[in-house]
Structure 1
């Protein structure tokens, strides 16, 4: 069997996301997804992420034996003794075919399947069959002969088959009339049969496959081909014009379906339960208990050794002119490989592990640079001492020519002469010398304590090479020298500086395709091979004048490297040898990754954590703004790097840390652009465009705010009108109160002042008559007139005062009371106190209240002076619990309240009641009198 050579590139298990490590079947859909059937559901794989489906996602059972693709690209799941189910891409789940009487019966027995020429798919067993087209049943048979159909231009011929151990008969029918038969005979019993696109494949129980093709009738003709497989056949799969077979021992064989020629094979401990070859001829193997394995036939090779023989964490690598390859590790072990023969050399030190930092091959000598000394041709180690005779460690080395090697030590540069074995310190800073690279037979460049240096052997001088202003902050780490006399230096930040004539000629900064943690570099022709902790970046460059043009191609473990951690590089005869932390890789110097287009796909949508059908356009309610989108970048070989998105046509693209975007959108229209980026930072040609329209919540809608504005305007208008009416009412009430006051004043003037004036008039007339006849009596009447006039003046003054509540302190109620109290009581021997709350002046504004309080107080004070014979008196006026409280108290003789006489107390009571107040008098004979007046406060 002539076949391509396949190498295992990766393994995926439940640790990477598979639902189970037991895999039954594999198929690739039209978009490039890989579908895996397991005993714990189905998984869809894009090359980086697994999306799993189970009975929760519509499967009739998690024990899925087959995963199939029909001619229309639909994916079908065939579970153990269950109804078939197809995958609904819009809803993102499987849909089980139900409610078909005969399908329900047939599916209780294990179903087989085959693809028909018209794109339909047939599920069948010994009980019957059902044919689906466009996810719908178009034909079925129950308890009848199973038949396939040959499609010709002139009509359709049915094929019914019957197997008798070592003989298989295929009967041809036209409208249920037998017209001919094709009979196969074999030395082994016949087992499985597969019909597809007018071709019949018949498998024996051993290792022979028969193919019947190019069938014609009238007369009958056909082509019969056979294939002998190296081992017995346990399982078969047809895909992409390929036939994949597995053996009971777990080997895999891939054949061209058309001519039965061999394409590839995987043997020895593969443990295959099923296998599939994808559109790029990569082989995917489903194992019994080890998950999914990926095999590729690209040109990167690996040199594998048993870890029990040599530890594979290689630090250095070199190859001599005899094509003998040397690789050294961190444990003093050196591997020698020539013509597939492997030898091991071991250096021991009981105190510490020995690092083989560098291997240099010159002529017939192999020089091992170790952390504590060097060795030539694997002879005992030679230590290196400082000028102070202290043992010092080595960091690196470079050969100037066939006899001189420059050593980089922690005490600067030292020369090793291979002819005489002598060493000498060179003129350099006594500090670490790192990353030496040869420029000419007389010059090397190295990294020292301050940065970049150039050492000239003939002059024995080290010259510091300063960086320009734009690169002052660069911390250089690795050097390489190209044949075009350019020096390439990497920095710890992943930038590249290119020197020409000891000046920076060009630079590459902030290029996402360059790794940040560069460990080694190798210049070859117009390429710079850059090793890092993330694989190899191959930079191909060209100078056009002062301009640098370049492309970067990244390769990693996915492409076949033993590991992504690269420690050293060597080249011989257009082959690059790579020392990694997990073995040695061999890469052609002209290697190019296959070109591929990574297509972004939307695989899952959740709105407010609720699954929604997959679409490119969504109209959502105002509260449906928490959106979770899951994407896939389909590239099965693992070159997909990241999904990038931009919001609302903003060209500021952001990368996702995974394959899920969680976003919260505001009201309005939004556009999310999605693209995929590969490991070389190449952007997908296809951009996925998703449109979202979030409805505006009612409280943000124009109509709502228009209604609010109208409502506010109406309320404002109503409020102003209410205030206007209130003001009008107040004015009216004030006018009414004023009118009432006027009437009351009129009544007072009429009843009190008028009566007094009338009395004055009568008394004046009497006095006028008596003045000549009875002078003494006339004099008494004149005195009476005088008293009445004075009393009248006081009453008129009180009325005028009560109507003028001005801010003048003499117009306040407290001043009024104090003035007349002082006038009346000051002329007596009565000790008196006047206690008036200052706030009464502001709060008692009502005219009637002011006047009556003063008059009540006057009446009471007059009574104290006239009748009490008191030695002490108290006048108190305050606000208490929204009441005006007036107290007039004396320690006089008191009186019997029941024998109350005179008009004074009656007037006081009347005035109090006019103000809706209460008038209380307490008097005890020989123990004083207290008058208490409580009047409601009118605001």
Structure 2
């Protein structure tokens, strides 16, 4: 495992979190309104918009707008099943289920709605049968659950197990779908069996809008219209209340980074930790579009993509740890850093050098007589050996067994400033 670190040397020692927010302009996207975001097995980012589907290959956006048999270009959700196949859901009078075949959009199926109905697609996910075949499941608010299996549609309407069609969100865990609606939570399994009153003892009396379910299928966090709650066993704790006109609607709760989580409200993103402490809030005043948030997606590099009615924002998390002399460094004036192996880093300073262990965050300091207190200006790892340039110390080399050797004495090279290696291994 390759470990990358930032070491910032300042006059204090503290932990600090920073976020870089990038807004993606409408000229790069197929449409202004982005409803859904997902990632394919090759790590391309795909978006569903009001004017087609597009994907980002890391350098530029590629648009796919035409699907034979579907006159409109409005897509509400785009997702990949576990076999790597793209599926998208569109709506224009009828609900359409679209896939990708030979890099072209293909109409898999169409569900005809009564013309007078104006329905809203809330979410879309998959179940897998005994043969591991994909079963697409679509939540259509105030209409029902649409299931596409064996090239035919199944509609689930109001029942004892599904007492409300006012849907808010859909959570997939262990091939079970948890359907959040205005009267609680229902569960749909791979045999298409519905069961009601999931987590009823915990969420009783709450108008739940979104949930986070752990791998043991226990509810850990949930939101109602204005509040975020933590759940421990059967104990419930309110940890945050939205202010002003903000509310939770189609709330997504994501395990963002180790013990950090993020939840989306209508116009803001809230970060909180394992202990339920809110750490950071991002909205239109500090990086987001001031527009309704439609979807959150966390990619494989821990970049958070935020879909909204005004485009996309990307949120990159930076976790800085500050070290200085009081934390164990040989000196706070560090001029050069080089990685020695998976966990060790060489830090060149004015009074010697430190070896930093990134696994236990410890330092070993060295002030060899050969350096004579000179400042190390540069260093380079060449086949496991650290070459060292320094003021008034010539050119040195730290061997793999920890021995410091002179390559060029000060009589030949008094002040060495920089080192590099050519493509033939020459220094």
Q: In structure 1, which of residues 130, 141, 147 is the aligned counterpart of residue 146 of structure 2?
A: 130
Q: Distance in 2 between matches of 1:180 and 1:288?
A: 32
What residue number does 2:119 align with? 109
Q: Distance in 2 between matches of 1:322 and 1:266?
A: 33
Q: Distance in 2 between matches of 1:210 and 1:293?
A: 27
Q: Is the 8 A contact 1:8 1:293 kept in 2?
A: no
Q: Is the 8 A contact 1:113 1:121 kept in 2?
A: no
What residue number does 1:19 align with? 30
Q: Distance in 2 between matches of 1:177 and 1:65?
A: 27
- Deviation of 1:22 after TM superposition, in Å, equals 3.4
* Partner SS for 2:301: coil
- Structure 2 CA distance for partners of 1:206 and 1:176, relative to 1, 3 Å: closer
Q: How do 1:8-47 residues align onto structure 2 when only pairs under 5 Å count?
A: 8=20, 10-15=22-27, 17-47=28-58
Q: Distance in 2 between matches of 1:275 and 1:523?
A: 50
Q: In structure 1, which of residues 50, 65, 68 is the aligned counterpart of residue 79 of structure 2?
A: 68
**Structure whose alpha-carbon radius of gyration is higher:** 1
What residue number does 2:317 align with? 297
- Structure 2 CA distance for partners of 1:91 and 1:229, relative to 1, 3 Å: farther
What residue number does 1:282 align with? 303
- Structure 2 CA distance for partners of 1:49 and 1:59, relative to 1, 3 Å: farther
What residue number does 2:156 align with? 141
- Deviation of 1:50 after TM superposition, in Å, equals 0.6
- Structure 2 CA distance for partners of 1:28 and 1:503, relative to 1, 3 Å: same
- Structure 2 CA distance for partners of 1:181 and 1:114, relative to 1, 3 Å: same
Structure 2 gaps of 5+ residues are: 1-14, 129-133, 163-169, 322-330, 334-373, 375-388, 396-407
- Structure 2 CA distance for partners of 1:107 and 1:193, relative to 1, 3 Å: farther
* Partner SS for 1:6: strand
Q: How do 1:105-504 residues align onto structure 2 when only pairs under 5 Å count?
A: 109-115=119-125, 118=128, 120-125=135-140, 126-132=142-148, 136=151, 139-142=154-157, 144=159, 147=162, 163=182, 168=184, 182-184=200-202, 189-191=207-209, 198=217, 203-209=223-229, 228-229=239-240, 231=242, 232-237=247-252, 244-248=262-266, 250-254=267-271, 266-267=282-283, 268-269=285-286, 270-271=288-289, 273=293, 274-289=295-310, 291-298=311-318, 482-483=390-391, 485=394
- Deviation of 1:128 after TM superposition, in Å, equals 2.3
- Deviation of 1:194 after TM superposition, in Å, equals 8.1
What residue number does 2:403 align with? none
Greater RCO, CA 8 A, separation 6+: 2
- Structure 2 CA distance for partners of 1:298 and 1:523, relative to 1, 3 Å: farther
Q: Distance in 2 between matches of 1:294 and 1:109?
A: 29
Q: How do 1:886-905 residues align onto structure 2 when only pairs under 5 Å count?
A: none
* Partner SS for 1:25: strand
Q: Is the 8 A contact 1:114 1:194 kept in 2?
A: no
What residue number does 1:574 align with? none
> TM-score with structure 2 length normalisation?
0.52
What residue number does 1:776 align with? none
- Structure 2 CA distance for partners of 1:195 and 1:140, relative to 1, 3 Å: farther
- Per-residue CA deviations over 1:712-759 (Å, capped at 9, x if unaligned) read xxxxxxxxxxxxxxxxxxxxxxxxxxxxxxxxxxxxxxxxxxxxxxxx
Q: Distance in 1 between matches of 2:22 and 2:194?
A: 52
- Deviation of 1:51 after TM superposition, in Å, equals 1.0
What residue number does 1:921 align with? none
- Deviation of 1:46 after TM superposition, in Å, equals 1.7
- Per-residue CA deviations over 1:561-604 (Å, capped at 9, x if unaligned) read xxxxxxxxxxxxxxxxxxxxxxxxxxxxxxxxxxxxxxxxxxxx
Q: Distance in 2 between matches of 1:106 and 1:142?
A: 18
Structure 1 gaps of 5+ residues are: 213-221, 302-320, 324-440, 442-480, 487-498, 505-521, 529-538, 550-939
Q: Is the 8 A contact 1:13 1:20 kept in 2?
A: no
Q: How do 1:601-620 residues align onto structure 2 when only pairs under 5 Å count?
A: none
Q: Is the 8 A contact 2:223 2:229 kept in 1?
A: yes
- Deviation of 1:44 after TM superposition, in Å, equals 0.6
* Partner SS for 1:77: strand
Q: Is the 8 A contact 2:160 2:196 kept in 1?
A: no
- Deviation of 1:45 after TM superposition, in Å, equals 0.8
Of stretches 138-147 and 18-27 in structure 1, the one that deviates more from structure 2 is 138-147
Q: Is the 8 A contact 1:23 1:37 kept in 2?
A: yes
Q: Distance in 2 between matches of 1:137 and 1:199?
A: 33
Q: Is the 8 A contact 1:169 1:183 kept in 2?
A: no
Q: Distance in 1 between matches of 2:178 and 2:309?
A: 36
Q: Distance in 1 between matches of 2:228 and 2:88?
A: 29
- Deviation of 1:127 after TM superposition, in Å, equals 2.5
- Deviation of 1:123 after TM superposition, in Å, equals 0.8
* Partner SS for 1:5: strand
Tell me which protein shows more helix as a share of its residues: 1
- Per-residue CA deviations over 1:489-531 (Å, capped at 9, x if unaligned) read xxxxxxxxxx998999xxxxxxxxxxxxxxxxx987xx75xxx
- Deviation of 1:98 after TM superposition, in Å, equals 2.8
Q: How do 1:795-810 residues align onto structure 2 when only pairs under 5 Å count?
A: none
Q: Distance in 2 between matches of 1:158 and 1:276?
A: 18
Q: Is the 8 A contact 2:251 2:264 kept in 1?
A: yes
What residue number does 1:85 align with? 97
- Structure 2 CA distance for partners of 1:150 and 1:207, relative to 1, 3 Å: closer
- Structure 2 CA distance for partners of 1:189 and 1:50, relative to 1, 3 Å: same
Number of residue pairs matched by the alignment:
309
What residue number does 2:351 align with? none
- Deviation of 1:206 after TM superposition, in Å, equals 0.8
Q: RMSD of aligned C-alpha atoms?
A: 5.7
Query: Is 1:7 aligned with 2:19?
Result: yes
* Partner SS for 2:109: coil
- Deviation of 1:95 after TM superposition, in Å, equals 2.6
Q: Distance in 2 between matches of 1:276 and 1:186?
A: 29
What residue number does 2:337 align with? none
